[in-house]
């Protein structure tokens, strides 16, 4: 009996040992996508929350309210996965006054001056919601609507969201059929594919507005940023581009070499920093073709976490959470103070409909708007 028990115990131990030093393959989990309820909007619509997990254990939670990424985990240098995004625990908080935490943005990411533009000789007036300008799609943009959701199972779980924006919505012409697919890939990257078609000439500029903090706490000033861009767009006091493409060389906007986000953020001698209250500008890439290119890398030294951004877009808005002021209570009761999150919003240039020398954001019937952005997470030892 005793021998039997011992043999049984040692074989158990053997299995346990095998498991703990087993190959990566054995440590992997099954990729999955799961749906749960997220609450009901003020006007009575049900919202769902989709949890996507890959075999590494990385997890994205996305709601069909505003296509919001509610949380996203990433590994640190010890393999610990932690949420690296800002957000709320409840749907009500997202509805009440979110500064676009994790949201899909449309029809137009960033600003259109005075909410006006002319297309094919016709003037359009959009909803204005930011210092007299139109920002992030207006008063009820794509961040505040319920999207149809279709979960897609597989090794790389995906969530396809669709929404039809009606002719005249927020002032835009044309019925716009939009499709956004989030895919959690095997290599710990979250891919976002955007598509749109219209039945009248219109303008489109879609993005995602996630706020990241790769340390999972504190401010983002020690995060080191590289931007593969040698020019940026100076703005006026209401954050509308002046039209100039200014070289970053010799300015506090030069991130061509990895530099802490906070190193020059309070440079009071720089008018652009003053206007943005920090960084709140678009950097433009020399490659304006619609091909995927690696444009940004962020490294967080205390955890080793790295985030890389690739996109087909010609620009990226780097925003350092300058308007966060500690009044919002987020996930787990955390308050979000100034500069506790940063955004890297891939996009066409702000106010392009009014600045004809910028790459065009016009979409015509028969054409398909297409854009892809990938956020890839890893860690350095
Ligand atoms: C804009 C900021 C704005 C923030 C939140 C960013 O994309 O550039 O000016 O405060 O979004 O609304």
Residue 6 has pLDDT above 50, yes or no: no
Compute φ and ψ for 17, nearest 5 degrees. -65, -45
Q: Which pLDDT score is estimated for 10?
A: 40
Task: Name the percent of the chain lying above pLDDT 70.
Answer: 93
pLDDT digit string, tens, across residues 75-89: 999 999 999 999 999
Residue 289: pLDDT band with limits 50, 70, 90: confident
Q: What's the chain's average pLDDT?
A: 93
Q: Is the pTM of this model over 0.85?
A: yes
Distance 319 CA to ligand 1 centre (A): 7
Cα separation, 107 vs 180, in Å, equals 13
- Angstrom distances, CA of residue 375 to CA of 125, 155, 257, 348: 34, 18, 20, 18
Q: Which pLDDT score is estimated for 288?
A: 85
Residue 211: which of 308, 333, 345, 331 has the closest Cα? 345
* Closest residue CA from atom 6 of ligand 1: 319
Residue 281 annotated to the active site = no
Residue 9: pLDDT band with limits 50, 70, 90: very low
**Residues framing ligand 1 (Cβ under 6 A):** 99-100, 110, 239, 280, 317, 319, 323, 343, 345
Residue 11 has pLDDT above 70, yes or no: no
Secondary structure class of 2 (helix, strand, coil): helix
pLDDT digit string, tens, across residues 13-70: 433 333 333 345 557 889 999 999 999 999 999 999 999 999 999 999 999 999 999 9
Cα separation, 326 vs 336, in Å, equals 5
* Closest residue CA from atom 10 of ligand 1: 323
What is the sign, positive or negative, of the torsion defined by CA atoms of 235, 240, 242, 248?
positive
Residue 154: pLDDT band with limits 50, 70, 90: very high
Residue 347 annotated to the active site = no
Secondary structure class of 225 (helix, strand, coil): strand
Phi-psi label, residue 316: left if phi above 0, alpha if psi -120 to 50, beta otherwise? beta
- b or e along 27-48 (b: 16 or more beta carbons within 10 Å of the residue's beta carbon)? eeeebbbeeeebbebeeeeebb
Catalytic residue among 209, 223, 281, 348: 209
- Angstrom distances, CA of residue 211 to CA of 39, 172, 223, 236: 22, 27, 13, 24
Distance 295 CA to ligand 1 centre (A): 20
């Amino acid at each position: 009996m005793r021998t039997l028990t011992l043999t049984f115990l040692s074989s158990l131990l053997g299995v346990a040992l095998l498991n703990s030093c087993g190959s990566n393959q054995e440590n992997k989990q099954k990729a999955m996508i799961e749906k749960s309820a997220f609450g009901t909007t003020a006007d009575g619509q049900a919202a769902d929350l989709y949890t996507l997990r890959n075999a590494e254990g990385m997890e994205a939670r996305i709601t069909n309210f505003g296509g919001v990424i509610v949380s996203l985990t990433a590994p640190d240098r010890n393999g610990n996965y932690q949420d690296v995004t800002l957000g709320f625990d409840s749907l009500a908080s997202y509805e009440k006054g979110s500064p676009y935490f994790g949201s899909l943005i449309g029809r137009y990411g960033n600003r259109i001056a005075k909410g006006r533009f002319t297309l094919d000789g016709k003037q359009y007036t959009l909803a204005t919601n930011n210092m007299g300008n139109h920002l992030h799609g207006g008063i009820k943009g794509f961040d505040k609507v319920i999207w149809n959701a279709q979960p897609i199972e597989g090794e790389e779980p995906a969530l396809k969201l669709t929404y039809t924006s009606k002719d005249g919505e927020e002032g835009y012409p044309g019925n716009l059929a939009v499709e956004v697919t989030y895919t959690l890939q095997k290599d710990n990257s979250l891919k976002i594919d955007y598509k749109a078609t219209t039945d009248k000439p219109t303008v489109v500029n879609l993005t995602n507005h996630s706020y990241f903090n790769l340390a999972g706490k504190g401010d983002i000033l020690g995060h080191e940023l590289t931007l593969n861009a040698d020019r940026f767009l100076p703005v006026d006091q209401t954050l509308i581009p002046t039209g100039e493409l200014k070289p970053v060389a010799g300015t506090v906007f030069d991130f061509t070499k990895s530099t802490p986000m906070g190193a020059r953020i309070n440079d009071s001698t720089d008018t652009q920093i003053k206007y943005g209250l920090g960084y709140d500008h678009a950097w433009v890439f020399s490659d304006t073709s619609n091909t995927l290119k690696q444009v940004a890398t962020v490294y967080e030294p205390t955890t080793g976490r790295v985030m890389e951004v690739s996109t087909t877009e010609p620009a990226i808005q780097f925003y350092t959470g300058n308007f966060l002021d500690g009044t919002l209570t987020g996930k787990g009761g955390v308050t979000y103070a100034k500069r506790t999150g940063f955004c890297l919003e891939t996009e066409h240039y702000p106010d392009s409909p009014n600045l004809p020398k910028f790459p065009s954001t016009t979409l015509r019937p028969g054409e398909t708007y297409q854009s892809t952005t990938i956020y890839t997470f890893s860690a350095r030892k």
